Structures are given as structure tokens and as C-alpha cells.
Amino acid sequence: MLDRSRLGGAITVFVMVGLSAQLAKDALDFERAMDAADEVRECHNITGSVEYLLRVEVDNLADYKAFHSETLGVLPQVGSITSHFSLGSSKDLRA
């Protein structure tokens, strides 16, 4: 079992992202931007009140603030951002 705190990315944030429009081009542009963002470990297109669920890993709150404002916050496709910080995991099967 790997000690994630020693690998970096000590803080895990689950981020719900709503797009401002429902155009296929907007979704593709958003997915490309998330693919290029090193902090984003997973990007899921989901059903419900928002279009995407991200698993983001950062070393500290300042790094998350930078990701939130300088990566997500500048994308014209993004209509809403809701961040949920993980306090711990009782089950995590990732190696």
C-alpha cells in the first residue's frame, strides 16, 4: 500500500463542475483542459445537477486555490464549481 502523503497530493478534493452551456464543443474543450491539468487525477462526466465530477490532488490549500482560480476559474465553459475536501477515506482500493 502506497503512502499518498509521501507521494505528494496530500489533499484530495472532489470538485463538481457545472457547464454554462450544453454544447458538445464546450464539453470537449472542458475535457481537454482537465486532461492538461496535472492536479486532476480523474474527470467523470456524470448525470444530475452538474456535468462533471473531478478528483483533484494537491499538496496544500494554496495549490488548490491556484487550481480553482487559475485553471477552472478562467474556463468560459465553467458555470459553477463546488469543492468537497476529503477528510479521510475508510475504503480506497487504488494502489
Secondary structure (DSSP) of 33-78: HHHH-TTEEEEEE-SSSSSEEEEEEESSHHHHHHHIIIIITT-TTE
Q: How many other CB atoms sit within 10 Å of the CB of residue 62?
A: 9
In CATH, 4-85 is 2.120.10.90: no
Report if pTM > 0.95: no
Segment 22-47, tens digit of pLDDT? 999 999 999 999 999 999 999 999 99
CA distance 62 to 8: 14
